[in-house]
Structure 1
Amino acid sequence: MGYSPKIIRYNEKISIWNGAASVITNSFITSFIPLFAIGVLGASNQQVGLLSSLPPLMSMIAMIPGAIWINRLETKKKFTAITLLMARFFLLLLIFIPFINFVEQSWILVVMIALMNLPTAITTLSWQSFIGDLIPDQRRGQFFSERSKILTIVGMVVTFSTGISLNFFEQNAAYPYQVLFLLGFIFGVVEVYFLFKHIEHKKEQKVYSKEPFSKILKTLLVERQYTTFLICAVIFNFGWQMAWPLFSIYQINDAHASAFWISLFAVANQISQILSYKWWARKAEQWGNSIMLFIAGIGMALAPILTILSTNLIYLVLINFFTGIFVAGTVMLLFNQLLRVSPDHSRTAFLASYNIVLGAVGFIAPQIGVLLLEMMSMSFAMSISSIIRLVGGLLFLIVVITNDKYTRRKKGYSEASI
């Protein structure tokens, strides 16, 4: 059963409210966990790297059983909400870390963040499949552009307000972060509430749901557009994710940024995302996702190199503003392209395989980045990240050319046979 335009508009509105609550919670985690780890718990470079790489490993572990469960569901809303609530419950556990003295606290944080990503990974996969069912293909580009713009504004306000608030406390004080974790859990409950508000129809028939998941995965090799996209995404994401812990280490240890400056970096990045979302959506409709991903890849390749040119905090704010333009395009276009090349009949399996492979990249890449930092230097590690990002972006352009040739050749054969 399809969804009427009225229900689609309603689900879009509820999805934005759900996303707003999610962004508030994630802003507390993404922007300030590294500062909590280094400033309060005294985490090492290795532990900061593990904060970036272990969550994707947990995602890999959770992805296959999660995909099997999701693939057999007639409705996904309840399942998504339950796994989301499980993930947000870990925020309550983080509150007690500063009270534990018999084990190194920074290692407890690493383990907690890793375990939190088991239910988070399943929630992400379920939500991707869920929202892919609710929002028709012709609406996704415009809707996700509008949704991303609104959520980025919410994230910007929350991040900036939090950074200013944390600046009134000592950098090694634990209790401000404990308050953040509590607020994060509360907004996580709000997030679950709005998730339940979506209207979802039960599937009338499940043609593929009874097939073994391994059989469905074999169809991945047949889908040329999907496999080529996956290869490009792997290379690009390797270069992207290997620098994630490096940015935090550079900003906090080298540039000596406080919570206020960390929030300014995030806000500058988010402002430029807000200003550029519509442009990326409009150009993607005009030129296609893959060509625009090539352009986004060039901008993303510049980010590591430009960052290490100076430790001046105002300069770093400007660089974050510049790179936010390309982050907006990268995040939106990767997700839109993933949905486009994933067939409707086995979307969950295709999304799962993508997340599994990207989970492996997310585990290995940050560790490689930290290893290059320890063995060589920050400049060397960031330069390698830039090169790999550039290669990944270039591959998206090559894929467009080769796929066009393949389509024309296939069409020629078909016409000849007639």
Structure 2
Amino acid sequence: MILSPQAEVSATERERGLRNLLIDAAFATAIGALNSGVVLLALAIHIGASNLQIGVLAAIPLLTQILQAPAVTLVERVRRRRLISVACVFTARLALPIYALVPFIPDRDAAAAVLILAALIHYGLNAVGSCSWNSWMRDLLPQDRLGAFFSRRNLYGTAVSAAATVGAAWALQRATGSEAAGDRVYASLYAVGFLCGLVSTAALARVPEPRMPSPAGAPSLRRLLLQPLRDVNFQRVLRYLASWQFAVNLATPFFTVYFVRELGFSMGFVLILSVVSQLANVAVVRGWGRLSDRFANKSVLAVASPLYLLCIAAMAFASEFEGAWTRAGYLVLLHVLMGAAQAGVGLATNNIVIKLSPAGAATGYMATNALVGALASGTAPIVGGWLTDFFARRQLTLSLDWTGPSGTAELFGVGVAHWEFFFLLAAALGLYALHRLAAVDEPGSVEGREVVDHIVAQARYNLRNASSVAGVRQALAFPAGALIKSREGTRFVLESLFERHRDVKQPAAASEAVGTLLDATFEPIPDDEFEALLRKLDERS
């Protein structure tokens, strides 16, 4: 039978399947770069869609994730995950030729309606296919190779996505100023995406599927989704995540509209901004991971989330800069910061949900989180589309005037209108999300100030090592030299050291404390050297 599961998958078949999964990842990622995200919103702008229609279009990829819940029941009943996945993604990618025809529909409202309908088909079926794909991969991939495989898969995807995005940016930049050329470029991008989809689907169909184990009376989907809502602390997590997703997705889908319609930038430049943000994300995500392990996820969110909100609020002032190059530099800087902050937020939010999900019930907790997040993030762009039109006809002006015998002089004045209203409102809602985060109880979390202090100290340490003079000094200086300069200094260091680490039987931890006390001017020393240092300190004291 076509695409049937197998009772056993041999090692050779598994390895062949892993290679096909990498091919699938490369071409599927190309579809995302060429046909989704910024490019899809750019097509909506190109055909003259309204802000509300753009908001609906931006909401579809998020709202359709709700379909993963009934997809669980579909997978359990059909029990042929490869068939479901391949059929869904192939049918979903039939929407790409429809996208390609949209620029040639003369009626703008009809074109927007067809675009929204195609997006519903595309993202809805992809969500159903993703549910069965996750279960399929759970049984196919060796557990001891999950990290290695997905890191390699992500590497392929990142490389292909960056290259495809740059290519799309170049094509759209060449079409700037000509509506007919733009029609052809968008049609070509979606035609290439459809061809990539055929290759991706063919590769996915060649991946073997292990037969699903016999059902063992699993709890109902309703009970599975309601169980996390009885957990008080997890309710707090859901409130934070829902308010955060709503605030962020209220504004971010309209950055493209703002850059093109308000600031006058080309779509090619907007795509380059997305690449800059992705590169900043990749560059710092490992650092955020180390911070989350050391200070807990809530502490990372307490630093990364305000930075992201600050960038959203700062978008409101991009129009105040004179000159295209100055504005462009300002936006590049904001996207670097946003990409770095998003890496921390994305990593910590996923980790905190996993960490606070009890063993044996993680599936229900993760599913509930996904559904709540989809509802919050999916409704936000629709509300945002309406708000942009609402604020377009309103303005708030604050002024400070001095009135005297000779007349009235304005000392200070500020006006907020349209996009400024919108972005500042989104940032204010994000502050409410931070308030909800404060109520979450995560073991091991510390104040955000401690995380910032650690980041600053680490950056200062790295900069100091970059200096040749400091590097030589660090290589030649024995660490204990700074400790045994005087009896008074020694006693201070000892008191601070034993206050932090009363258990002297942990020399590695105490060694790290010494390094911190000396302002990170040297690496933590080996245990045997540290014990000798303690003896010297004791003698000198």
3-state SS, counterpart of residue 440 of structure 2: helix
Match of 1:89 in 2: 94
Q: Distance in 2 between matches of 1:124 and 1:14?
A: 17
Match of 1:155 in 2: 161
2:371 to 356, 362, 365: 356
Match of 1:116 in 2: 122
Match of 2:82 in 1: 77
Residues 391-400 or 344-353, more deviating: 344-353
Match of 2:190 in 1: 181
Q: Distance in 2 between matches of 1:12 and 1:290?
A: 35
Residues 377-386 or 281-290, more deviating: 281-290
Distance 1:112 1:101, change over 3 A: same
Q: Distance in 1 between matches of 2:17 and 2:232?
A: 32
Deviation at 1:43, TM superposition (A): 1.2
1:27 to 14, 30, 33: 33
Deviation at 1:320, TM superposition (A): 1.1
In the alignment, does 2:384 pair up with 1:378?
no
In the alignment, does 2:409 pair up with 1:400?
no
Q: Distance in 1 between matches of 2:208 and 2:163?
A: 29
Native 8 Å contact 1:372 1:381 kept in 2: yes
Distance 1:401 1:94, change over 3 A: closer
In the alignment, does 2:222 pair up with 1:214?
yes
Distance 1:355 1:11, change over 3 A: farther
Gaps of 5+ in 2: 1-6, 320-326, 392-417, 446-541
Output the aligned Cα RMSD: 3.5
Native 8 Å contact 1:83 1:122 kept in 2: yes
Task: State the number of aligned residues.
Answer: 401
In the alignment, does 2:122 pair up with 1:107?
no
Deviation at 1:226, TM superposition (A): 4.6
Deviation at 1:53, TM superposition (A): 2.1
Question: 1 or 2, which has the higher helix percentage?
Answer: 1
Native 8 Å contact 1:232 1:395 kept in 2: yes
Q: Distance in 2 between matches of 1:294 and 1:136?
A: 36
CA offsets 1:16-70 (integer angstroms, 9 cap, x no match): 543332221111221212222112x11111211111124434443x344223213
Residues 375-384 or 8-17, more deviating: 8-17
Deviation at 1:233, TM superposition (A): 1.4
What are the equivalent positions in structure 2 for 1:312-391 lying under 5 Å apart?
312-339=327-354, 349-376=364-391, 377-391=418-432
Distance 1:400 1:155, change over 3 A: farther
CA offsets 1:179-200 (integer angstroms, 9 cap, x no match): 1111112222333344345555
Deviation at 1:243, TM superposition (A): 0.8
2:52 to 46, 50, 53: 46
Match of 2:309 in 1: 301
Deviation at 1:342, TM superposition (A): 5.5
In the alignment, does 2:266 pair up with 1:261?
no
Deviation at 1:307, TM superposition (A): 2.0
Deviation at 1:215, TM superposition (A): 3.0
Match of 2:256 in 1: 248
Q: Distance in 1 between matches of 2:21 and 2:367?
A: 22
Q: Normalising by structure 1, report the TM-score.
A: 0.82
Identity of aligned residues (%): 21
Q: Which amino acid aligns with 2:269?
A: W
Q: Which amino acid aligns with 2:160?
A: V
In the alignment, does 2:213 pair up with 1:201?
no
Native 8 Å contact 2:51 2:388 kept in 1: no
CA offsets 1:159-186 (integer angstroms, 9 cap, x no match): 1121112222245221111111111122
Q: Distance in 2 between matches of 1:66 and 1:38?
A: 33
Native 8 Å contact 2:296 2:442 kept in 1: no
Q: Distance in 2 between matches of 1:277 and 1:6?
A: 34
Native 8 Å contact 1:294 1:395 kept in 2: no
1:273 to 260, 281, 288: 281
Deviation at 1:242, TM superposition (A): 0.6
Q: Normalising by structure 2, report the TM-score.
A: 0.65
Match of 1:65 in 2: 70
Deviation at 1:260, TM superposition (A): 1.8
Q: Distance in 1 between matches of 2:354 and 2:140?
A: 13
Residues 235-244 or 140-149, more deviating: 140-149
Gaps of 5+ in 1: 405-418
Structure number with the bigger relative contact order (C-alpha 8 A, sep ≥ 6) is 1
CA offsets 1:63-103 (integer angstroms, 9 cap, x no match): 44223213446453332232122211111221222343466
